[in-house]
Amino acid sequence: MIDRLLAAAAAFALASPAAAQEAPSAPPSPGEIVDAAPAADWVAIAPSDLLVMDLAPDAAGKSRRVVIQLMPAPFSQGWIGNIRKLAATHWWDGTSINRVQDNYVVQWGDATEKKPLPDGLMAVPESAYLSERQRGTTTWLPSANGTYAPHHGVLAGWPVAWNADAAWPVHCYGMVGVGRSLSPDTGSGAELYTVIGHAPRHLDRNIALVGRVIGGIEHLSSLPRGTGALGFYEEDAQRVPIAAIRIASELPASAQPRFEYLSTESASFAKYADARANRRDPFFIRPAGGADICNIPVPVRPVAAK
Amino acid sequence: MIDRLLAAAAAFALASPAAAQEAPSAPPSPGEIVDAAPAADWVAIAPSDLLVMDLAPDAAGKSRRVVIQLMPAPFSQGWIGNIRKLAATHWWDGTSINRVQDNYVVQWGDATEKKPLPDGLMAVPESAYLSERQRGTTTWLPSANGTYAPHHGVLAGWPVAWNADAAWPVHCYGMVGVGRSLSPDTGSGAELYTVIGHAPRHLDRNIALVGRVIGGIEHLSSLPRGTGALGFYEEDAQRVPIAAIRIASELPASAQPRFEYLSTESASFAKYADARANRRDPFFIRPAGGADICNIPVPVRPVAAK
């Protein structure tokens, strides 16, 4: 029996790709479906919709780049206008990562809370947390859970929830939102956070989401947790400096990161979403028969620079 | 307007405790409800149910202790018997953290996959992934989502799901499970993992859960992500050594960590769960009206050693 257990240990990996190779006739895993998607199913993300955050190099001198995809209309456009202005004026350069709360968020901005903001930022009203429901343009994911909203799906590559009146983006892992104070129309876009734990869906419709991390999230999620209240760092030396934040289209062409996402209107995405909800690859013995919206992340991949 | 935005930045914190202080008549936050729970609502966790994992000190020489609460009957007892035997024989001493996959799991055990296991470990059958439904002893959380099971609740302090026939523990952040190979009855308990991202509920009933991290999870969740397939480390030097894993009751009394959890049968827990599902503290403008089971974590706190 020891030998059998040893063999088990040797072969163990959660949903190992090797498993599928051993059983060539097995149903494909979600990852294999994505890998097999034709080039036409992938949508290039415009460099003008990418926010590039370069952190100070790590202790070994290695560069740390985080890439955030900004949300398209109709969502959060007031804040995204502010974010574009903050990036254009280089406002974030020299600010820092100030908060890392385990199973919750990483937050960045001005730790001194005294740096003047550029002129012309908007104060965005609470109504902008929602958008009129976009009928006919949303891919339903009917198996996604209804605890937080009657419906969930993906709209042009983004996870959304909706009811009879409105649609809104949801707080999945890696989503980026705008810190605010008690009043809902506060929050300029200068203080941003990303989710690094279980989806805090209670924040939906209470804080504005403006994008998602699509590259380098490990440079945020693996940072030491802050020991102050709410995971704020207590000492200057703990805060990782932000060297620069730019819109990618403002970088030299050779330095622009390029990404594409799997069209959520494609047959490949439908097959992928179904496979996420019903795992039939060989590791699984009981497919769940459903998946919550945050367990069907929209596939995004880097592509070589032109 | 700049001043107003500055003030917003200064005051910002997601659901800040300061907010409640400013509005003394405001409904309490979930944390405030837990803090106000009477001593009688807290249940001591037996040291014999705590697995203590001491990692090698970090680069600054600081100790790193992770404490895992093992699951009580009726769940997973075959594996937990194996885990007790592995700890008693010091089998894990000198093994390592081998895998850190972002938004998924941290996994530990023998990286060489050749270390002989102690005699007498059980091969646990697939049927042990479930348990006969425990009627009358489960606290319902009727608002918890039904995507992955018709019912969710807490049973003696643990998040569980159930249907007409069976109950099973669920993969929330910090839950600890048993790695296995393709066959469901593999997996000795020697290879363990914990969840460090969005709840991978598709693993429920497909892998055995045996406990949860209740202390020091940041020593696992903030580790550098592995760059190999599935987040496995590719070089020996990347693997954090495990100095020792022991059942707490086998440690000297003065070195035994002590924890207690908020009784899930208590009025305090009911109030806390309701507040998690309906955030009425001042930061929130739209309470969700529900929460998924993993967004109602059972409160656990360390207590001073006797």
Q: Which residue has the tokens 């149910």?
A: B49
Q: What CATH code is assigned to B47-137+175-254?
A: 2.40.100.10
Question: A136 or B130: whose pLDDT is higher?
Answer: B130
Q: How high is the pLDDT of residue A140?
A: 58
Residue B219 DSSP SS3: helix
Strand order across the B300-302 sheet? B42-44, B259-262, B300-302
Q: How high is the pLDDT of residue B172?
A: 98
Q: What is the mean pLDDT of chain A?
A: 88
Average pLDDT over residues A103-113: 96
Q: How high is the pLDDT of residue B17?
A: 39
Q: How high is the pLDDT of residue B11?
A: 36
Tens digit of pLDDT per residue, chain B (306 long)? 223 332 333 334 444 434 444 555 789 999 999 999 999 999 999 999 999 999 999 999 999 999 999 998 888 889 999 999 999 999 999 999 999 999 999 999 999 989 999 999 988 887 777 776 555 555 655 445 678 988 888 888 999 988 888 889 999 999 999 999 888 888 899 999 999 999 999 999 999 999 999 999 999 999 999 999 999 999 999 999 999 999 999 999 999 999 999 999 999 999 999 999 999 988 999 999 889 999 999 999 999 865
**Record: contact B230-A148, CB cut-off 8 A:** no
Phi–psi pair at B219, nearest 5 degrees: -70, -20
Residues 6+ apart with CB under 8 A from A255: none
Q: How high is the pLDDT of residue B173?
A: 98
Average pLDDT over residues A200-209: 95
**Record: contact A204-B288, CB cut-off 8 A:** yes
**Record: contact A224-B218, CB cut-off 8 A:** yes
Q: How high is the pLDDT of residue B284?
A: 92
The structure tokens listed for A293 are 């919206």
The structure tokens listed for B115 are 């270390």
Question: B104 or A180: whose pLDDT is higher?
Answer: B104
Domain ranges of chain A: 44-110+121-266
Nearest to A117 by CA among A142, A148, A92, A147: A92
Fold for A44-110+121-266, please state it: Cyclophilin (2.40.100)
- Which pTM value belongs to this model? 0.91
With CA atoms as reference, the chain A residue closest to B127 would be A285
Q: Inform me whether the C-beta atom of residue B241 falls under 8 Å from chain A C-beta atoms.
A: no
Q: How high is the pLDDT of residue A11?
A: 36
Q: How high is the pLDDT of residue B4?
A: 30
Q: How high is the pLDDT of residue A1?
A: 26
The model's confidence at residue A141, banded by pLDDT at 50, 70 and 90, is low
Neighboring chain B residues of A180 at a CB cutoff of 8 Å:
8, 12
Q: Inform me whether the C-beta atom of residue A306 falls under 8 Å from chain B C-beta atoms.
A: no
Q: How high is the pLDDT of residue A163?
A: 84
Q: Which residue has the tokens 């060297």?
A: A243
Q: How high is the pLDDT of residue A10?
A: 34
Q: Which residue has the tokens 């919750």?
A: A104
Q: How high is the pLDDT of residue A165?
A: 80
Q: How far is CA A210 from CA A10, A132, A199, A248, B258, in A?
A: 43, 17, 16, 16, 42
Cβ atoms within 10 Å of B302's Cβ, excluding its own:
12
Tell me, rounded to whole angstroms, the distance of Cα A119 from its chain centroid.
Answer: 29
Q: How high is the pLDDT of residue A156?
A: 87
Q: How high is the pLDDT of residue A134?
A: 57
Neighboring chain B residues of A116 at a CB cutoff of 8 Å:
2, 6
Residue B30 DSSP SS3: helix
Contact assessment for residue B211 and residue B68, using Cβ atoms and an 8 Å cutoff: yes
Query: What does the alpha-carbon distance between residue A143 and residue A278 come to, in Å, rounded to a whole number?
Result: 10
Size of the A and B interface in Cβ pairs below 8 Å: 253
Query: What does the alpha-carbon distance between residue A254 and residue B55 come to, in Å, rounded to a whole number?
Result: 43
Q: A126-151: b or e for each residue (b if 16 or more CB lie within 10 Å)?
A: eebbbbebbeeebbebebbbebbbeb
Q: How high is the pLDDT of residue B124?
A: 85
* Minimum distance, in Å, between the CA of residue A292 and any CA atom of chain B: 7
Query: What does the alpha-carbon distance between residue A253 and residue A48 come to, in Å, rounded to a whole number?
Result: 12
Average pLDDT over residues A33-38: 98
ipTM of the complex: 0.90
* Minimum distance, in Å, between the CA of residue B301 and any CA atom of chain A: 16
